[in-house]
């Protein structure tokens, strides 16, 4: 193959991966792989003196966000990149610099005039982007108004935190490769409310223009903060020696490896504090030589030997996991790495026991097999699911051609992984220390088949201790966490059930009117789906989803199983009105205006009243549609001179 053909093949692969990356589709290449191919292309271009049309070394990757296109007032150019701290020091040339995160999201350019937000535009190709101003109310951090009344242009990154990414995946059931992929796909939507549910945050990383005379980059960021913006984390390096630069790189790296940084990043950025000096640089291709420099971590690679490939059934796919001889990476012992899918195994050349692998921790977090030096044997693809033992099938993505293995059993327990993860989450039952990966292993071990099984994990404590990476202390911690989580609020319980359309806010609204027991009884017996539709913020769609979920007998059995093992703390009911304030009612007999007695009881309580089970001198009214009945409650009411109301009487006096 001649050099031009080599270059064209690299250009095609890189551009296809960039197109998927920038437009919210399935990830084709990891950052590590993209950078390696990009560097290979740059070297071929440098050696040959040839740059072919469409080369990503000579253009800014574009998004194809649908909408009205708009030219940028100031070109959004890309930064030169390096993995060597020495090059950062050389570039700084002794001048004070700022170091900040290189956030992994979508760059949005935000403009203000006369104190008002005037437009929000995507980066696009650096010169022309897409106007998405209509989505601004759905993006945290983009202020509708500021106190500054001049013309102002800010660049920032639209990002989704790891926690919000996992929450969305669990609640929606949709599968995205990473937070950046979800953020990208979200900004192609038209519905502002749908975008708002993705919890996108816009974080300013530079003030492009202001009429104020502020020549220090650090002072500009302070000025933005004083206006109310939450800007990117940044640190000043007054004397950019190699020692100082390396120390700050290490400090940022520690935040990544320790998990204290909530947002995805793919490196660091350094800029001159002197903005006037920075603006005097030249433009080479699509890089402004003094605008800034991007640092990407040099991934530490080690060789090891494959022991076996473990097939783990999780959510919709059966994922291959490489289990290899333990190695030290980024200060930790690593002996497992996901191989993602069959296509990735084929691309790498994964074989059987004895295959020699190169492993990294991508972005210092995720173990990743990047190369196979020597293949031994062949990869065996299981014909049956490791969880339910039903047949498997290989599916091919129509978009990318990616081959993945799936279980054909629609009722396979492993397909409930995301629901189990939501069940144990902090917002759910708050069982500490049980991650999605841990749940997947418990499922594959046969210990988790339903939500109630989490409260029986003490029966498998010895087995947990024997799992790779656990031990007796970890097993005891899990058992202790389960015991601690046996007391839970009703709101967290409802959220934990993964009822479609029912998040924390919906659970709060339902439980502000009805008790948990009333909610369950009403939903299970409701003749119509809209029984909760009149509650503020619920409506027919959410009411229907809630009722239909509780009509399912399997769901009913699961709920009762969990309720048998936990103690529920009831929320205080906020009265929606005061029509029944200060009154105590007793309800007996059948009802016809309300769906059942529980609904009538809940209505009375929502209006500030009380409902008791027996008639006493403190009872204000007995509600009985058979007013002339000789029942014991009617007789007691007559003895105590307690008025008896029919349901129609009640509705006329106290109904809505």
Q: Is 532 helix (H, G, I), strand (E, B) or coil?
A: coil
∠ CA(611), CA(520), CA(505), 5° rounding?
95
Taking a C-beta distance cutoff of 8 angstroms, is the pair 151, 112 a contact?
yes
**Distance (Å, rounded) from C-alpha 530 to C-alpha 544?**
6
- Look at the alpha carbons of 427, 429, 435, 437 in this order and tell me if their dihedral is positive or negative: negative
* Tokens read off for 600: 């009538």
Around 473, how many Cα atoms within 13 Å sit in the side-chain half-sphere? 1
- Residue 542 phi, psi dihedral angles, 5° rounding: -70, -35
Q: What number of other Cβ atoms are within 10 A of residue 644's Cβ?
A: 20
Q: β-strand 128-130 against 69-71: which pairing, if any?
A: antiparallel
List the catalytic residues: 102
Nearest to 201 by CA among 176, 226, 172, 232: 232
* Tokens read off for 508: 């709060």
Q: β-strand 356-362 against 152-159: which pairing, if any?
A: unpaired
∠ CA(649), CA(655), CA(656), 5° rounding?
145
- Residue 241 phi, psi dihedral angles, 5° rounding: -80, 165
Q: What number of other Cβ atoms are within 10 A of residue 296's Cβ?
A: 17
Taking a C-beta distance cutoff of 8 angstroms, is the pair 594, 601 a contact?
no
Around 237, how many Cα atoms within 13 Å sit in the side-chain half-sphere? 26
**Distance (Å, rounded) from C-alpha 28 to C-alpha 122?**
22
**Distance (Å, rounded) from C-alpha 247 to C-alpha 578?**
63
Distances (CA, A) of 143 to 192, 225, 230, 629: 16, 12, 10, 64
**Distance (Å, rounded) from C-alpha 435 to C-alpha 257?**
17
Taking a C-beta distance cutoff of 8 angstroms, is the pair 275, 216 a contact?
yes
**Distance (Å, rounded) from C-alpha 567 to C-alpha 565?**
7
**Distance (Å, rounded) from C-alpha 9 to C-alpha 153?**
39
**Distance (Å, rounded) from C-alpha 507 to C-alpha 495?**
6
Query: Which residue in this structure is represented by tokens 């403009």?
Result: 111
């Amino acid at each position: 193959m001649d050099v031009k053909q080599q270059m064209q093949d690299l250009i095609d692969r890189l551009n296809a991966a960039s197109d998927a990356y920038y437009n919210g589709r399935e990830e084709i290449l990891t950052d590590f792989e993209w950078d390696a191919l990009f560097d290979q292309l740059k070297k071929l271009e440098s050696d040959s003196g040839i740059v072919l049309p469409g080369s990503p070394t000579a253009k800014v990757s574009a998004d194809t966000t649908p909408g009205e296109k708009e030219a940028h007032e100031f070109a959004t150019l890309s930064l030169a990149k390096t993995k060597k701290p020495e090059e950062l020091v050389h570039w700084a040339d002794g001048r004070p610099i700022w170091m900040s995160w290189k956030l992994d999201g979508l760059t949005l350019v935000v403009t203000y005039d006369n104190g008002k937000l005037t437009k929000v535009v995507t980066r696009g190709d650096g010169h022309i982007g897409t106007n998405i101003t209509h989505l601004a109310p759905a993006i945290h951090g983009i202020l509708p108004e500021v106190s500054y009344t001049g013309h102002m242009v800010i660049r920032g990154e639209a990002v989704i935190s790891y926690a919000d990414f996992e929450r969305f995946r669990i609640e929606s059931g949709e599968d995205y490769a990473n937070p950046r992929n979800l953020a990208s796909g979200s900004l192609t939507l038209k519905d502002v409310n749908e975008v708002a549910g993705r919890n996108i945050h816009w974080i300013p990383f530079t003030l492009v223009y202001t009429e104020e005379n502020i020549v220090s980059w650090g002072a500009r960021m302070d000025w933005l903060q004083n206006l109310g913006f939450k800007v990117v984390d940044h640190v000043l390096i007054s004397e950019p020696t190699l020692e100082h630069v390396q120390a700050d790189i290490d400090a940022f790296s520690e935040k990544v490896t320790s998990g204290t940084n909530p947002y995805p990043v793919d490196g660091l950025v350094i800029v001159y504090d002197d903005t006037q000096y920075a603006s005097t640089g030249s433009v080479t291709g699509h890089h402004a030589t003094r605008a800034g420099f991007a640092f990407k971590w040099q991934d530490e690679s080690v060789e090891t030997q494959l022991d076996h490939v473990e097939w783990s059934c999780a959510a919709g796919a059966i994922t291959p996991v490489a289990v290899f001889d333990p190695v030290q990476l980024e200060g930790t012992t690593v002996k497992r790495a996901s191989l993602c899918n069959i296509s990735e195994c084929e691309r790498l050349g994964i074989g059987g026991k004895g295959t020699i692998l190169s492993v990294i921790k991508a972005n210092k977090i995720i173990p990743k097999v990047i190369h196979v030096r020597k293949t031994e044997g062949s990869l065996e693809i299981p014909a049956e699911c490791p969880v339910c033992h039903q047949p498997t099938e290989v599916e091919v993505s129509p978009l990318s051609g990616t081959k993945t293995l799936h279980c054909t059993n629609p009722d396979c327990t492993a397909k409930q992984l995301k629901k189990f993860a939501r069940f144990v989450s902090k917002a759910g039952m708050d069982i500490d220390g049980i991650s999605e990966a841990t749940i997947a292993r418990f499922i594959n071990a046969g210990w988790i088949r339903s939500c109630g099984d989490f409260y029986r994990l003490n029966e498998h404590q010895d087995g947990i201790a024997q799992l790779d990476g656990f031990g007796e202390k970890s097993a005891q911690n899990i058992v202790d966490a389960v015991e601690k989580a046996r007391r839970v609020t009703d709101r967290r319980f409802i959220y934990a059930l993964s009822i479609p359309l029912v998040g924390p806010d919906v659970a709060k609204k339902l439980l502000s009117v009805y008790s948990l027991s009333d909610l369950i009884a009403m939903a299970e017996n409701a003749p119509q789906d809209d029984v909760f539709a009149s509650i503020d913020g619920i409506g027919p769609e959410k009411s229907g989803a809630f009722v239909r979920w509780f009509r399912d007998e399997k769901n009913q059995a699961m709920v009762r199983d969990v309720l048998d093992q936990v103690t529920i703390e009831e929320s205080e009911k906020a009265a929606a009105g005061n029509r029944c304030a200060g009154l105590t009612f007793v309800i007996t007999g059948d009802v016809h205006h309300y769906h059942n007695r529980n609904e009538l009881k809940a209505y009375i309580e929502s209006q500030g009243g009380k409902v008791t089970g027996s008639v006493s001198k403190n009872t204000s009214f007995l509600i009985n549609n058979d007013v002339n009945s000789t029942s014991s409650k009617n007789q007691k009411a007559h003895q105590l001179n307690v008025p008896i109301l029919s349901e129609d009487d009640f509705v006329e006096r106290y109904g809505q």
